[in-house]
Amino acid sequence: MFEVLGNRFRDIFAGIRGEVRLTPAAVEAALREIRLALLEADVNFKVVKAFVARVRDRAVDRKVLDSLTPAQQVVGIVRDELLALFGKQRPVFGATGRRPQVVLLIGLQGSGKTTTAAKLAHWLRRQGRRPLLVSVDVRRPAAVEQLAVLGSQADLAVHDPAERESAAARARSAVEQARADGFDTVIVDTAGRLHVDDVLMSELDEIAAAVDPTERLYVADAMTGQDAVKSAGEFHRRAAITGIVLTKMDGDARGGAALSIVAVVGVPIVFSGCGERLEDLESFAPDRMVSRMLGMGDVLTLVERAEQAAAGQQAQPAGGPAPGGDFTLEDLRRQLAVIGRMGPLDQLLGLIPGMGSLAAGDPEIDPRRMARVAAIIDSMTREERRRPALMNGSRRRRVARGSGTSVEEVNRLLKQFVQMRRLLKTVRAGARGRRPGARGLRERLRIPGAPGARR
C-alpha cells in the first residue's frame, strides 16, 4: 500500500542522486515534490508542513551540501524523519501475567472492527493462545450475528449471552466465561461510533470500567483522508488507545492517514489487515515499511514469508533431493510451489532491495506464467522430471497436450532449465566461502538460478 508513495520517493531521489553537488535550489525542488506526494497520499497537511520544514532544516546545511555524498545524505535525512513519523515498534500481547487479557477493538463505523476481531483471534490462536470473541455491538442490526457466523466458519469460540444486555454487561459476561473455561484472551468487538457522539463515547468508558482492557486497539481504514487525525485524536483522548490496526491495506490507498495518526496521536500501528481471508492480518514493523517505501527492500519480511512457506512444505511428503544432488525439474516444481505460497510475485520482488521498480509493470513477471510452468512439469512422468533428456518429440507433444500449453512452451521451459542447471553448476563452486547469513537466506529461498540454491 505504501508502495505508490515509495515509487514517488524513488523518482524524486533519482532526480537528485545524479548530482555531484547539490544546490539549495535543487533540494527545494525535491522538497516541493515530496510535499505533493505526501498530500496526495492523504498525509495530514499539518504533518506535511512540519515534515517538510524539518527535512529542509537539516538538508539545507553546508555540512550536508558540501559533503562528498550530498544526495545520499538527503535521502538518509528523509528516511530518519519518516521513521520518526512511523514511531517505534511496540510488542503487543506481551506477557502481562494477568489472565485473561482483554483486547478492546474500537473505531468509526465501517472501519472493519468485526472482521479484524475474527482475524486477530485467528492470529492469536496461531501464536498458541486461546482467544474468546464477544460482540458488544447491540446497535447495528445483525452485528452480533456477523461475528457469530465468522466465528463458526473458522471454528473460533464466540461468547453470546442469550439476552441482549448492555455492551458493558456483555463484555463482563465474556470475561467471566473466559476465566471459567480457561481462555487467555478476550477480544471485545465494539459498535462503530462517531468520535463526536458523546453518548456512545461514554459507553466506551462503561465497557472499559467493566473489563479493564489490557489493549485498546483503534481500527482505522487505510483509505481515510484528512479527518483521520481528528477522529483518532478524539478516540485517544476519550479511551487512551494503545495501538492502531490498519485495515483495507489491499486497496490502492497510499496510507498517509495512518502516518498522520501515528505522528499526531503518537500511538504505533501494531497490525495491518490486507485481504478478506482470515489469515490476512500481519504484525506491523515501521522500519521495514520505511525501507520498502524508499526502495531499500524488505529482506526480513521476505525471509519470514519464506520460512512460513517452507514450514507449510514440510507437511507434505518429503520428495528429497534426487540422487547425486543434481538440480532436477522436481526441485524446480517444489520451488515454484514454495514461491507461490509466499505471496504474489510482484509483491515479493518489491521486498528485494532494488527490485521494487523492476516489478512494477513488467509483463515478464506474470504469476500465470508460473502456473503454466507448473502445469507442464505436472504433466511429465517422474522419470521425465528427473531426466529431462528423455523428452523427445512425441513426449513433448504429449506433455503440451496434457498441460494445455503448446510444444513451443514446453521446448522453452526445457531449454531454460538446461541453462539454469549449467549456470547453477558454475556458480555453486563460486558460492563457497560466502557469508553464512547470505547463504542461509539463499538456501531457504531456493530461488531457481540463485547461487547456492541447493547444496
Partner 1 sequence: MALGPGLRDRLGAVLRNTAARLGRSLDAIAGAAAGNEGAAADRRATADSIEEVLLEADVGVAAAARIMAGIDAEAAAAGGPPLRGRVRREMLRILSAPPPPPPVAASPRVVLVVGVNGTGKTTTVGKLAALLQREGARPLICAADTFRAAAIDQLAAWAQRAGVDMVKARAGGDPAAIVYDAIDAARARGRDVVIVDTAGRLHTRSDLMAELEKIRRVASRAVAGAPHDVLLALDATVGQNGLVQARQFLERAGVNGIVLTKIDGTAKGGIAVAIACELGLPIRYVGVGEALEDLLPFAPDAYVDALFTQSW
Contacts to partner 1 by CB under 8 A: 36, 39-42, 45, 108-112, 139-143, 145-150, 153, 194-196, 221, 223-228, 230-231, 248, 250-254, 256-257
Q: CB nearer to partner 1: give 114 or 291.
A: 114
441 Cβ contact partners less than 8 Å away, ≥ 6 residues apart: 299, 303
The owner of cell 481471508 is: 277
N-to-C CA span, the chain = 37
Helices (H), 18-98: 24-40, 45-59, 62-65, 70-86
Q: Quote the distance between the C-alpha of residue 147 and its chain's center.
A: 24
Residue 225, C-alpha cell as written in the block: 483522508
Q: Vertex 151, ends 279 and 92: CA angle to 5°?
A: 50
> Could you tell me the smallest distance in angstroms from the CB atom of residue 197 to partner 1?
8
Distances (CA, A) of 354 to 77, 83, 238, 293, 299: 20, 20, 44, 12, 11
Q: CB nearer to partner 1: give 256 or 356.
A: 256
> Could you tell me the smallest distance in angstroms from the CB atom of residue 56 to partner 1?
17
> Could you tell me the smallest distance in angstroms from the CB atom of residue 368 to partner 1?
13
- What is the sign of the dihedral through the CA atoms of 187, 192, 195 and 196? negative
> Could you tell me the smallest distance in angstroms from the CB atom of residue 284 to partner 1?
19
Pairwise CA distance, residues 74 & 92, whole Å: 33
Q: CB nearer to partner 1: give 72 or 109.
A: 109
Q: CB nearer to partner 1: give 109 or 202.
A: 109
Does an H or E element contain 132, and which?
Answer: strand 131-135
Pairwise CA distance, residues 440 & 429, whole Å: 16
Does an H or E element contain 121, and which?
Answer: helix 113-126
> Could you tell me the smallest distance in angstroms from the CB atom of residue 21 to partner 1?
31
Q: CB nearer to partner 1: give 111 or 405.
A: 111
Q: Are 19 and 70 in contact (CB under 8 A)?
A: yes
> Could you tell me the smallest distance in angstroms from the CB atom of residue 194 to partner 1?
5
Residue 13, C-alpha cell as written in the block: 531521489
> Could you tell me the smallest distance in angstroms from the CB atom of residue 264 to partner 1?
13
Up-side HSE of residue 325: CA atoms within 13 Å toward CB? 7
Q: CB nearer to partner 1: give 158 or 391.
A: 158
Q: CB nearer to partner 1: give 140 or 238.
A: 140
For residue 140, give the amino acid letter. Answer: R
For residue 306, give the amino acid letter. Answer: A
Q: Residue 408: is it exposed, middle or buried by C-beta count within 10 angstroms (0-12/13-18/19+)?
A: exposed
Q: Which residues pair with 272 in a beta bridge?
A: 246, 282
Q: CB nearer to partner 1: give 110 or 404.
A: 110
Q: CB nearer to partner 1: give 203 or 221.
A: 221
Q: CB nearer to partner 1: give 136 or 210.
A: 136
Residue 163 carries which DSSP code?
S
Q: Residue 263: is it exposed, middle or buried by C-beta count within 10 angstroms (0-12/13-18/19+)?
A: buried
Q: CB nearer to partner 1: give 254 or 386.
A: 254
Q: Are 286 and 298 in contact (CB under 8 A)?
A: no
> Could you tell me the smallest distance in angstroms from the CB atom of residue 139 to partner 1?
8
> Could you tell me the smallest distance in angstroms from the CB atom of residue 435 to partner 1?
39
> Could you tell me the smallest distance in angstroms from the CB atom of residue 10 to partner 1?
20
> Could you tell me the smallest distance in angstroms from the CB atom of residue 192 to partner 1?
9
The owner of cell 547453477 is: 424
> Could you tell me the smallest distance in angstroms from the CB atom of residue 234 to partner 1?
8
Q: CB nearer to partner 1: give 145 or 279.
A: 145
Nearest to 17, CA basis, from 76, 75, 60: 75
